[in-house]
Amino acid sequence: MARQLDVSDLVDRARRGQPRAVARLISLVEDASPQLREVAAALAPHTGRAEVVGLTGSPGVGKSTTTSALVSAYRALGKRVGVLAIDPSSPFSGGALLGDRIRMQDHATDPDVFIRSMATRGHLGGMAWATPQALRVMDAAGFDVVLIETVGVGQSEVDVVSLADTTLVLLAPGMGDGIQAAKAGILEIADVFVVNKADRDGADTTVRELKYMISLGRRELRGPSWRQPIRKTVAARGEGVEGVIEAIGSHREWLTAHGELAERRLVRARTEVEAIALESLRARLGDLHGGDSLDRLAKRVMAGDVDPYQAADALIAEIKQS
């Protein structure tokens, strides 16, 4: 039998700033440890403080470089910073990915910076349940800011939005990104646009395209709305990063002033509960798989005795009883 961990001691140590305790807690989350419930209960009273900033954008646009530059800037302000790098395509997790490790190595020896990569491919429901719990660990451990980097593919940028108080969408010149942004629905999810690689030709064109696209979108809006600022950066040289920090700060003030921060966090909690409930239903459905109820129902559907909807209702009724 696996050794039982003293969860409350682990949480205490994480809160005292011990990186190994934070790492251990996140591993418990990733491995869906049987002690996960105990961990969640111990974390809950300490959560809700961290500012959560999501970064998304196409591969190679400079998310990790920007994240690293933001870490430096927040450290200079005396803030403790956590980083979650989500890789929806990789089966590897635990340590930072190689590329990220190189970019993040400036912070490797700083005890007030904690960086963690998470792979989501192997997880049922992807990022849906594991990432928010990892975020809770960092939040409870007292990081002032948590940066979440994720590649903007498929569902993942939508997930980062549901987690973050403020979402940065990164673009780079010359990738036809303005148009892509509109197509990918990225205009709606951005709270702040960052045009990175501004040392390259075409940055001003990208900014112009974005402004035009934003102006089109605004016509449909009613009520008080946030004006998405655009910031240019050369993340590789740390240039323009203070402008991004300032925009994040303004957005946070706006969120607070309009009751939107509470609203977003409510949505986040709702998504979390839903993900866990679905996961639990799926697990119970899996248990039924092992039994013969599903087989029995499938045979009746095959024979035309019941339709698949009736069969599904019967299956759900069994889950409720179990």
Ligand X SMILES: Nc1nc2c(ncn2[C@@H]2O[C@H](COP(=O)(O)OP(=O)(O)OP(=O)(O)O)[C@@H](O)[C@H]2O)c(=O)[nH]1
Other Cβ atoms within 10 Å of 142 Cβ, number: 17
Give every CB contact of residue 107 below 8 A, 6+ residues apart in sequence. 68, 71, 72, 75, 113, 115
Taking CB under 5 A as the binding criterion, the range among 26-34, 61-69, 111-119, 256-264 that sits at the site for Mg ion is 61-69
d(CA 284, CA 318): 10
What phi, psi does 97 have (nearest 5°)? Answer: -65, 160
Residue 34 CB: number of other CB atoms within 10 A?
A: 10
Quote the DSSP letter at residue 184.
T
Alpha carbon distance 31, 39 (integer Å): 13
Q: Does 196 bind Mg ion (CB under 5 A)?
A: no
Q: Which does 147 bind (CB under 5 to 8 A by kind): ligand X, Mg ion, none?
A: none
Q: Which of 159, 105, 114, 158 is nearest to 137 (CA)?
A: 114
Please report how close the Cβ of residue 81 comes to ligand X at its closest, in angstroms: 17
Residue 59 interaction partner, one of Mg ion, ligand X, none, beta carbon < 5-8 Å per kind: ligand X
Shortest spacing between CB 61 and Mg ion, in angstroms: 9
Site string for ligand X, 225-244 (x = CB under 6 A): ---------xxx--------
Instruction: Dump the DSSP string for 251-313.
Output: HHHHHHHTTHHHHHHHHHHHHHHHHHHHHHHHHHHHHHHHSSHHHHHHHHHHTTSS-HHHHHH
- Which residues face 114 on adjacent strands? 82
How many positions of this chain bind ligand X (CB under 6 A)? 17
Smallest gap, in angstroms, from Cβ of residue 303 to ligand X? 51
CA separation for the pair 171, 181 (Å, rounded): 8
**Does 64 help bind Mg ion (rule: CB under 5 A)?**
yes
**107 touching ligand X, by CB under 6 A:** no
Shortest distance, position 191 Cβ to Mg ion, whole Å: 20
Total Cβ atoms within 10 A of residue 105: 12
- Interface positions, 139-158, toward ligand X (CB under 6 A): 151
Given the complex with ligand X, which of 66 and 293 has the nearer CB atom? 66
Identify which range of 45-53, 56-64, 133-141, 283-291 contacts Mg ion by CB under 5 A: 56-64
Least separation in angstroms between residue 94's CB and Mg ion is 16
Q: Between 64 and 93, name the residue whose CB sits nearer to Mg ion.
A: 64
Q: Contact region for Mg ion (CB under 5 A) — 39-47, 63-71, 156-164, 211-219?
A: 63-71
- Interaction site with ligand X (CB under 6 A): 59-65, 99, 103, 151, 196-197, 199-200, 234-236
- Interaction site with Mg ion (CB under 5 A): 63-64
